[in-house]
Amino acid sequence: MRAELYVKPLLLLTALGLGSARADAVPPRVLRVCADPNNLPFSDRKERGLENALAELLAKDLGATLRYTWWAQRRGAVRSTLTAGECDVMMGVPTSLESLATTAPYYTSSYVFLSRRSRGLGITSFDDPRLRTLRVGVQLVGDDYANTPPVHALSRRGISDNVRGYSVLGDYGGDVPAAAIVRAVQRGEVDVALVWGPLAGYFAREPSNDLVVALVPDHEASLPMRFAISMGTRRRDEALRSEVDAFITRRQSEIDALLRRYGVPRP
């Protein structure tokens, strides 16, 4: 009986103490990341993309639980997600993007020439005369099909009649919407395509896909072909941006390993 009288008050005090501790505890940290649910090789709802892997690494580094805000990366995506307060970090944005605050870049990539390895074309320059006769695929941006830098470079050389455009948005109801241009190369619809490097490299990393990439020379065009890529936060979230900057510095070697695994071409 004496033991019982001793134990029960002790348990009661412990429970009360724990209850007080829970009331005063800091809630677990959550890292809310904006991501496209159908945009491989960058992100998808199954979390198979490069930016999914990067977001997971960032969350672990910050001791936070990762939570996604899924939103198709179409026109107005930044305004509807990050600016609206639905999430806090956006992966894979151009360092020069002015609508948000960007971190230090964690990689730089380039447009590439993509062709079938078995063709042995070996095109590495806009001045290759074969570009005037081969079927050339190019990417077009947005709902209004704006031209990408390679299109301008070809146009300046009078190359247009043999050029076929593919939207970077693609058929969003299908698998890997942006990959239409890659599949066009594989099927022989075009002989060579000018493609944003991370997309082309993702498919070319598998030898069975019979694809090869060559970096587009940045000096051959009036517009840049290489772009630095960062993460983005709201401008007022200076503390978070500083944390992400520190993460990039601290874990750059692991980020580089992810970039290699996903086949990102780097100058």
What domains does the chain contain, in order, with CATH numbers? 30-107+227-261 (3.40.190.10), 110-220 (3.40.190.10)
pLDDT for position 223:
87
**What is the DSSP annotation of the chain?**
-HHHHHHHHHHHHHHHHHHHHHHHSPPPPEEEEEE-TEETTTEETT--SHHHHHHHHHHHHHT-EEEEEE---STTHHHHTTTTTS-SEEEEEETT-SSSEE---SEEEEEEEEEEGGGT-----TT-GGGGTS-EEEEEETTTTEEPHHHHHHHHTT--TTEEEEESS--TTSSSGGGHHHHHHHHTSSSEEEEEHHHHHHHHTSGGG-EEEEEPPGGGSSS--EEEEEEEE-TT-HHHHHHHHHHHHHTHHHHHHHHHHTT----
pLDDT for position 173:
85
Please give the Cα distance from 58 to 118 (Å, whole number). Answer: 39
Regions of the chain where pLDDT drops below 50: 1-21
The answer to whether 172 and 183 are in contact (CB under 8 A) is no
The answer to whether 65 and 246 are in contact (CB under 8 A) is no
pLDDT for position 267:
92
pLDDT for position 6:
40
pLDDT tens-digit map of 99-131: 899 999 999 999 999 999 999 999 999 999 999
Q: For the chain, what percent of residues have pLDDT higher than 70?
A: 89
pLDDT for position 175:
86
Q: Is 19 left (phi over 0), alpha (psi -120 to 50) or beta?
A: alpha
